[in-house]
Structure 1
């Protein structure tokens, strides 16, 4: 195999009139090799196989399968090939597909940037675009598991957006987020645009569900569903999703509560997002100023009465945490699982047990106020239970308290000593030579003393 440098030298010598034999002697190569490179039958840097290519018999089948299905997984294709006698590795298959360029480009799924895009007009006050964003790894103190969700709403004309955190993407959480975001944006547009989310429409047909139709009529808006495979029709909210994930969620500390995180998001939207510059026919402006000029309709005085439910665990103090505040329940439910039920727009919340029994109703405090809402009956019952437990259980021991052995321990110690004394006396009787009837040997230690003195004298 010749390198590119050797190939250039061979061609240069040939142009000078050298014969193939002379070039072969000069380079130390075989004449057939030199002739093959001069005739462009071989490529520098590519070694000619001395044995048949084991992958070649499968090329036709792979080409046909990938032409039929350009998105066929290489793992699935490898399963089919193994039934046809393929014995090489999966990594070899993927490498050969790449090197031989066997997978064709799917024309139907070409990237939107490779296709011509129409310019979609967004008149002021015409459309609000909505979408959910999955936010992985929320703080463990939230108790939301491995995923949080953010509902984002964006005005299509100005680009102003707001978001609301939620533990789930249920329809009540969607309705709650729609109401809060619309009030944060300053009002309602004439139309709401969604992708094919199941809480709004039937994903297969794109037709609105009966349950969400009531929501749309309550707010007096029309609902527009994106056509299938046309996600770029709501590109304004998609860009807001990217901003929320990369500029706000990515830097959120671990020690914040849900309410603090929501406040940080609202502050980010006001300080960072609304101050973005925009160029219009009337000159330069900002997103906030452009949004303020949109003709938005005022939202209803009360939200749509959806029923919002969230599970909670009662603390040892018989308190239930909900949106930055704590609400009391009877002390018998300490450490139990309960459900907080709230009708959107109502001023009270209900706390329901697992058997669907409402055991507490409290007036709803402002989110994140940090207050403790307690019923007088719950307080009295908790004090009675706590005092009764303290009276029966006694006070806890101090770490440096003196606690001598009690009467039972002293009696057990006396019995143990008697048992030890009797065992020692029995052992001494068995080892006494006189009582055992045996003779003893008396050793005179003066003999050892004289031997020791003699040894010292010799030294």
Structure 2
């Protein structure tokens, strides 16, 4: 490969009349190389590829993924690289990004190009095991099959010393869901730190004063942690979890398929954190250490044996089979409530799930199954009552099954008599012929002796 300077020198020597052999000896290159550059077959500063381009078979896939109309032009290169690795791409990440730039596959977003500006922050020291930062990440447009409306919610917790983070999907951001998700994330992180840091969310503190609420203070005492509230409008104070939110939204949520259930989506997030998030390399004390190695240095306390007994309740519509859904499973209720809205109540730490009416009356109680197991939990009494109701309804309709539709049913004698009557009156049939006009004249004029009716016919 010739550099820009060597190419300029070769072109100048050629114009002076030097032969290709003389130029090759002068520059210490081979004659075919000099000839290729002089003829414009090669470009200075670019090394000619010795073999096939490993990126070429995947170029069309990347173009479709980054298309501004049908794809996602903002998908991260790291996410796209993970997808190509799963499809068999064997090249390195730097080779992959260089191929994206060389081919101009990512379109330019004018809105993003002119947004933002330089921002300065203060570096904060985070000793191991001291602080866990928490934040809700609102995820727009969840799959329709989830039935979660226009948004899902992800509680993200991160340990800023090591940078390890985990997230748990939730249907709501109310306090019971927050308490449940706090324990679930703590189990994934491996324990409890000394302090929990939140922004001014209403389920933790008073948004105006920053004072911890009495209901959440009980939770903090249960887990033995100190609650720290970020100053107002100082979101950067928990920048570690903010960055984790950004990564979760870009590298995971943007690629969640429509066919996934909430349990399957949660599984893909946990797998991504283990396989991708924990292998990140950080520089600590002049050395390079992975996030997983740093996480083992976090001095975390074990979680309490029992979860905080918060009562979690969500609304569900009873199906035609007298079932309500909860966390990927179905639970039976007595018949006669199809289409009604019921509350599904569960006390954290217990194994019982209750279905309650709008007035708070317990309609059914079941042993809670493992979330997203896809099982149907039915009480024997509910099944028997539903079968009895269905059979009774069929008996009232004249036996089991619908009416036969291919049986011959000729006209009854009464129907035929009515049809004959209608034919006689001219209803529904051709009218009877009109009588001759002479008959009408005879009926209108009384006859006298010797009189005759004139012939009215022409």
Q: Give the TM-score normalised by the residue count of structure 1.
A: 0.66
The answer for the alignment partner of 1:213 in structure 2 is 217
Are 1:238 and 2:242 counterparts? yes
Distance in 2 (CA, whole Å) between partners of 1:275 and 1:411 is: 89
Are 1:380 and 2:384 counterparts? yes
Distance in 1 (CA, whole Å) between partners of 2:176 and 2:209 is: 22
Are 1:411 and 2:440 counterparts? no
The answer for the alignment partner of 1:450 in structure 2 is none
Secondary structure (helix, strand or coil) at the match of 1:355 reads: coil
Relative to structure 2, which stretch is displaced further, 368-377 or 387-396?
Answer: 387-396
Shift of 1:440: 6.4
Are 1:326 and 2:330 counterparts? yes
Distance in 2 (CA, whole Å) between partners of 1:384 and 1:230 is: 62
Matches within 5 A, 1:60-71: none
Match of 1:317 among 321, 330, 341: 321
The answer for the alignment partner of 2:426 in structure 1 is 423
The answer for the alignment partner of 1:174 in structure 2 is 178
The answer for the alignment partner of 2:274 in structure 1 is 270
The answer to whether the 8 A contact 2:391-2:400 is kept is no
Distance in 2 (CA, whole Å) between partners of 1:403 and 1:439 is: 59
The answer to whether the 8 A contact 1:429-1:435 is kept is no
The answer for the alignment partner of 2:4 in structure 1 is none
Q: CA RMSD in A?
A: 2.4
The answer for the alignment partner of 1:365 in structure 2 is 369
Are 1:226 and 2:230 counterparts? yes
Secondary structure (helix, strand or coil) at the match of 1:367 reads: coil
Match of 1:199 among 203, 208, 212: 203
| Unpaired stretches in structure 2, ≥5 consecutive residues | 1-115, 442-454
Shift of 1:333: 2.4
Are 1:142 and 2:132 counterparts? no
Shift of 1:191: 0.8
| Unpaired stretches in structure 1, ≥5 consecutive residues | 1-110, 442-459
Distance in 2 (CA, whole Å) between partners of 1:369 and 1:429 is: 81
Distance in 1 (CA, whole Å) between partners of 2:266 and 2:456 is: 98
**Number of equivalenced pairs:** 328
Distance in 2 (CA, whole Å) between partners of 1:297 and 1:133 is: 26
Matches within 5 A, 1:394-405: 394-397=399-402, 401-405=405-409
Which has the higher Rg, Structure 1 or Structure 2? 1
Match of 1:257 among 243, 261, 272: 261
The answer to whether the 8 A contact 2:394-2:401 is kept is no
Q: 1:396 to 1:300 in 2, by over 3 A?
A: same
Distance in 2 (CA, whole Å) between partners of 1:222 and 1:189 is: 9
Are 1:130 and 2:134 counterparts? yes
The answer for the alignment partner of 1:352 in structure 2 is 356
Distance in 1 (CA, whole Å) between partners of 2:331 and 2:134 is: 33
Secondary structure (helix, strand or coil) at the match of 1:361 reads: strand
- Decide which structure has greater helix share: 1
Secondary structure (helix, strand or coil) at the match of 1:234 reads: helix
Per-residue CA distance 1:135-188 (angstroms, 9 max, x = gap): 111222222221221111111111111111122211111101101000011111
The answer to whether the 8 A contact 1:430-1:436 is kept is no
Are 1:302 and 2:339 counterparts? no
The answer to whether the 8 A contact 1:312-1:321 is kept is yes
Distance in 2 (CA, whole Å) between partners of 1:320 and 1:407 is: 49
Q: 1:427 to 1:166 in 2, by over 3 A?
A: same
Q: 1:282 to 1:300 in 2, by over 3 A?
A: farther
The answer to whether the 8 A contact 1:193-1:234 is kept is yes
Distance in 2 (CA, whole Å) between partners of 1:198 and 1:426 is: 83
